[in-house]
Amino acid sequence: MTEWDDLRQGIGDIDRKILDLYEERMKAVRMMARYKRETGMEPPEARRERCEWSAAADSGAGRLLQLLADLGAEERQRTVSARDSQGAARALKVAFQGIKGCYSEEAAMDYFRDQLEPVSLEGFENVFQALGQGQADRGVLPLENTSTGSIDQVYDLLAGYRCHIVGEYVLPVRHCLLGAEGASLEGLEEVFSHTQGFLQCEIWLSAPERRHWRRTPHYDTATSAALVAKLGDPAKAAIAGRQAARAYGLRILAEDIQTYSNNHTRFIVISRDPEVTSRCDKISLMFSVRNESGSLYRILAEFARYGLNLVKIESRPIPEKNWEYRFYVDLDGNLNEPGIQEALKAVEGQCLEYRLLGNYVKG
């Protein structure tokens, strides 16, 4: 490699870092817009942002910073849209499991910047069905939690329905204890939540002064909050998010009660069609292998041979075949990168069943 090649490679490395920082800036812009909307603050006018760059306005760096400010302003105002049969713009219909105030709704609002038509559905499978029947443009589903692991039902549904993963979003899950007017920690007798909510708050719930509370599993965290609001009983509470407290007018009796402060849920965004761009950097696959010695090893060896970085592997039993499994794999990469297609063809050649689930931008 010549000195010229070294310089070109160095510039390429810097450009990739700039792109990563640009994505971080856009995420921060969206968070600021959401905060300002919730608190009633007006978005800053463009001239205010320009003032910040006035000292460097005549330099190349100043022009770059001003461009970033302009792009940030566009990001705040951008509407995620689709087209109806007449070609007119409309908001995307985004389906999720749960009711108003649930974590899936929060993830959908964050990912689509609140510019969407929410489609609230009863179950995970209903989201896949709505997508397949054209009743929704996108679906948002939880796939795994850092505290309690994978959502097995969603993995199984990915195998049963033809859809594509086109995005992901990682949501910080901050559980709160919510009560009706007049409720207090000392007077509580019963707590409602999804089983995952109880598991993620186990240490806090197990404190001596709270062990006597009756834990009643309910459909999900948001419906638990809605139930407590409907009952209006100060002896009953729910474990749910802050957004559920706002949605149902409940008091926050305690917050951040999850066992681990880094409690996050990874959501996937699904679509009927794939969406692959040059920015996509994560690939998801599903495959099954022959029930014989070394079959899985040979597939993993192909990933290693082509230098692919596996970030997750998950196995799920195949219901119609005893003691046989499907594997779900996430790896770094873009389908247009040199060698990726060749590597995936080599993997496919070792499989009984193989499906590319999606290539998308990491959350």
Output the six-digit token pair for 272: 């009927």
What's the N-to-C CA distance of the chain in angstroms?
35
Give, in order, the Cα–Cα distances in Å from 192 to each of 86, 90, 148, 196, 316. 47, 38, 18, 11, 30
What is the arrangement of strands in the sheet containing 282-288, beginning at the earlier edge strand?
A: 310-317, 325-332, 282-288, 353-360
Contact 198, 258 (CB under 8 A): no
CB 96 within 8 A of CB 105: yes
Catalytic-residue membership of 277: no
Catalytic residue among 267, 287, 303, 327: 267
d(CA 82, CA 134) in angstroms, rounded, equals 13
Strands (E), 46-195: 81-83, 89-97, 116-121, 138-145, 149-150, 164-172, 176-179, 190-193
11: helix, coil or strand? helix
**145 CA to centre of own chain:** 10
Q: Provide the greatest CA pair distance for the chain.
A: 75
- The DSSP string of 236-252 is EEEEE-HHHHHHHT-EE
The catalytically annotated residue of 265, 287, 303, 327 is 265
CA distances from 222 to 116, 176, 226, 244, 260 (A): 20, 11, 6, 6, 21
At 273 the three-state DSSP class reads: coil
Quick check: is 267 catalytic? yes
Tokens of 189: 């007798």
What ranges in 40-111 are assigned the alpha helix state H? 46-52, 60-77, 103-111
Computed on alpha carbons and rounded to an integer, the radius of gyration of the chain in Å comes to 24
SS3 324: coil
- Supply the residues annotated as catalytic: 265, 267
